[in-house]
């Protein structure tokens, strides 16, 4: 059975302007690889309600899991929850369970509850809350779409709450063999080895260090014996 598939939608003008360098996709990609869930697509889109709604609609139908990051805080530019509700034609309002979580958290810290903070309890009808052990305000799952925060510490905490409950697959194993020769020198032989080992994917990543060219050859696959066989063939073709 093939592994489940996934896409991630990163929502935020700050990523598209170059103000912020993504770390949430990088984090989630590694977690999904460990779980055997194949990340097939990432999209970075602006803080625009119509774009968020259209993108969620499009992507939700094409992948087993969709993760979103960003736009669920208390400020005017936090529009993701409403835009995702619209994608599923679901009503959205302050929900009692989410409100209770925030009230307890703020009461413990002598922080006043106000209208802005209460926006973080807006949850679409029928959605399941995603726990946030960092700052309480929950994410939520609606059908196969998992809506999480953009702040990396909170995003990662939500992933830790969410991911163990998802259907997973066979973890993708990865082995790297470093060859101290340029890609152009090893490419022909490497293509033959790739053809001989159709069960794995073989990637080639050139680098240069202190003026010396080298290539990291990465073998990936779910079958450990197949990964090992390809790695042995590569090591024999290009001895250290």
Footprint of a copy of itself (CB under 8 A): 13-23, 25-33, 39-47, 73-78, 111, 114-117, 119-120, 151, 153, 172, 174, 182-188, 190-191, 194-195, 201-208, 218, 220
Shorter beta-carbon distance to a copy of itself: residue 25 or 83 = 25
Tell me how far, at minimum, the Cβ of 130 lies from a copy of itself, in Å.
18
Other beta carbons within 10 angstroms of residue 80's beta carbon come to 27
Nearer to a copy of itself, 61 or 89 (CB): 61
**What's the token pair of residue 189?**
């032989």
Closest CA to 147 of 166, 133, 127: 127
Q: Cβ 207 to a copy of itself, closest distance in Å?
A: 8
Nearer to a copy of itself, 91 or 208 (CB): 208
| Closer by beta carbon to a copy of itself, 129 or else 151 | 151
Residue with tokens 């995702």: 84
Q: How far is CA 48 from the centre of its chain?
A: 20
Closest approach of a copy of itself to the CB of residue 96, in Å: 19
Kindly report each contact of residues 193-197 with a partner whose C-beta sits within 8 Å and lies 24 or more positions away, as own/partner.
193/230, 193/233, 193/234, 193/237, 196/233, 197/226, 197/229, 197/230, 197/233
Compare residues 19 and 89 and give the one whose CB is closer to a copy of itself.
19
- Least distance in Å: CB of 209 to a copy of itself? 11
Asked whether 40 and 46 are in contact (CB, 8 A), the reply is: no
> Least distance in Å: CB of 39 to a copy of itself?
5
């Amino acid at each position: 059975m093939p592994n489940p598939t996934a896409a991630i939608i990163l929502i935020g003008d700050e990523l598209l302007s170059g103000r912020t360098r993504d770390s949430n996709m990088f984090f989630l990609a590694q977690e999904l690889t460990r779980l055997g869930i194949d990340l097939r697509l990432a999209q970075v889109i602006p803080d625009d309600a119509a774009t968020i709604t259209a993108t969620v609609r499009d992507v939700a139908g094409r992948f087993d899991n969709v993760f979103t990051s960003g736009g669920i805080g208390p400020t005017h530019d936090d529009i993701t929850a409403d835009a995702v509700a619209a994608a599923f034609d679901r009503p959205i309002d302050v929900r009692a369970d989410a409100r209770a979580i925030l009230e307890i958290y703020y009461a413990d810290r002598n922080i006043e509850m106000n209208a802005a903070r209460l926006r973080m309890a807006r949850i679409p009808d029928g959605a399941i809350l995603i726990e946030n052990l960092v700052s309480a305000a929950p994410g939520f799952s609606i059908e196969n779409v998992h809506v999480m925060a953009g702040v990396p510490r909170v995003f990662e905490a939500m992933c830790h709450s969410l991911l163990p409950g998802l259907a997973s697959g066979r973890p993708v194993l990865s082995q790297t063999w470093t060859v101290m020769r340029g890609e152009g020198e090893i490419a022909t032989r490497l293509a033959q080895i790739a053809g001989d080992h159709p069960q794995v994917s073989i990637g080639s990543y050139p680098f240069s260090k202190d003026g010396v060219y080298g290539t990291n050859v990465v073998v990936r696959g779910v079958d450990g014996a197949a990964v090992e066989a390809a790695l042995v063939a590569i090591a024999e073709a290009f001895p250290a």
